[in-house]
Protein backbone atom coordinates (compact mmCIF):
# COMPACT_ATOMS: atom_id res chain seq x y z
CA UNK A 1 0.00 0.00 0.00
CA UNK A 2 2.86 2.37 0.84
CA UNK A 3 4.46 1.69 -2.51
CA UNK A 4 1.24 2.57 -4.29
CA UNK A 5 0.95 5.84 -2.35
CA UNK A 6 4.58 6.67 -3.10
CA UNK A 7 4.04 6.02 -6.81
CA UNK A 8 0.94 8.22 -6.76
CA UNK A 9 2.84 11.02 -5.01
CA UNK A 10 5.67 10.86 -7.55
CA UNK A 11 3.18 10.88 -10.43
CA UNK A 12 1.36 13.91 -8.98
CA UNK A 13 4.66 15.72 -8.45
CA UNK A 14 5.75 15.18 -12.06
CA UNK A 15 2.31 16.25 -13.30
CA UNK A 16 2.52 19.51 -11.35
CA UNK A 17 6.05 20.21 -12.61
CA UNK A 18 5.08 19.53 -16.24
CA UNK A 19 2.08 21.85 -16.01
CA UNK A 20 4.17 24.56 -14.38
CA UNK A 21 6.81 24.34 -17.12
CA UNK A 22 4.16 24.39 -19.86
CA UNK A 23 2.52 27.45 -18.31
CA UNK A 24 5.86 29.23 -18.03
CA UNK A 25 6.63 28.41 -21.67
CA UNK A 26 3.24 29.76 -22.78
CA UNK A 27 3.79 32.99 -20.85
CA UNK A 28 7.09 33.53 -22.66
CA UNK A 29 5.43 32.78 -25.98
CA UNK A 30 7.66 29.83 -26.77
CA UNK A 31 6.40 26.88 -28.70
CA UNK A 32 7.78 23.42 -28.02
CA UNK A 33 10.47 22.33 -30.45
CA UNK A 34 9.56 19.38 -32.63
CA UNK A 35 12.97 18.91 -34.18
CA UNK A 36 13.94 17.86 -37.67
CA UNK A 37 11.22 16.45 -39.91
CA UNK A 38 11.92 13.52 -42.24
CA UNK A 39 9.91 12.08 -45.13
CA UNK A 40 8.54 8.53 -45.16
CA UNK A 41 10.12 6.65 -48.06
CA UNK A 42 6.82 4.89 -48.86
CA UNK A 43 3.99 7.42 -48.49
CA UNK A 44 5.85 10.74 -48.28
CA UNK A 45 4.37 11.73 -44.91
CA UNK A 46 6.63 14.05 -42.92
CA UNK A 47 7.19 12.94 -39.31
CA UNK A 48 9.53 14.14 -36.56
CA UNK A 49 12.90 12.41 -36.87
CA UNK A 50 12.66 11.32 -33.24
CA UNK A 51 9.44 9.38 -34.00
CA UNK A 52 10.44 8.01 -37.41
CA UNK A 53 11.65 4.47 -37.95
CA UNK A 54 14.98 4.27 -39.74
CA UNK A 55 16.32 1.42 -41.83
CA UNK A 56 19.61 1.96 -43.61
CA UNK A 57 19.39 5.56 -44.88
CA UNK A 58 15.60 5.68 -45.22
CA UNK A 59 12.94 6.87 -42.77
CA UNK A 60 9.44 5.44 -42.35
CA UNK A 61 6.29 6.62 -40.57
CA UNK A 62 5.21 3.14 -39.42
CA UNK A 63 6.39 -0.42 -39.05
CA UNK A 64 4.07 -1.43 -41.90
CA UNK A 65 5.83 0.95 -44.29
CA UNK A 66 9.25 -0.11 -43.04
CA UNK A 67 8.39 -3.76 -43.66
CA UNK A 68 6.75 -2.97 -47.00
CA UNK A 69 9.92 -1.26 -48.25
CA UNK A 70 12.10 -4.24 -47.35
CA UNK A 71 10.04 -6.68 -49.46
Per-residue pLDDT of 1-17, as tens digits, reads 999 999 999 999 999 99
Per-residue pLDDT of 16-52, as tens digits, reads 999 999 888 887 776 667 789 999 999 999 999 999 9
pTM of the model: 0.52
Report the greatest alpha carbon distance in the chain: 52
Q: C-alpha angle with apex 40: 42 to 32, nearest 5 degrees?
A: 160
Phi, psi of 14 (to 5 degrees): -65, -35
In whole angstroms, what is the distance from residue 14 CA to residue 9 CA? 9
List C-alpha distances in Å: 64 to 21, 46, 49, 55: 36, 16, 17, 13
Amino acid sequence: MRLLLLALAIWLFTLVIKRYLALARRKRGETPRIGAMVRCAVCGLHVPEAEALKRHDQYFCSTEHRDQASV
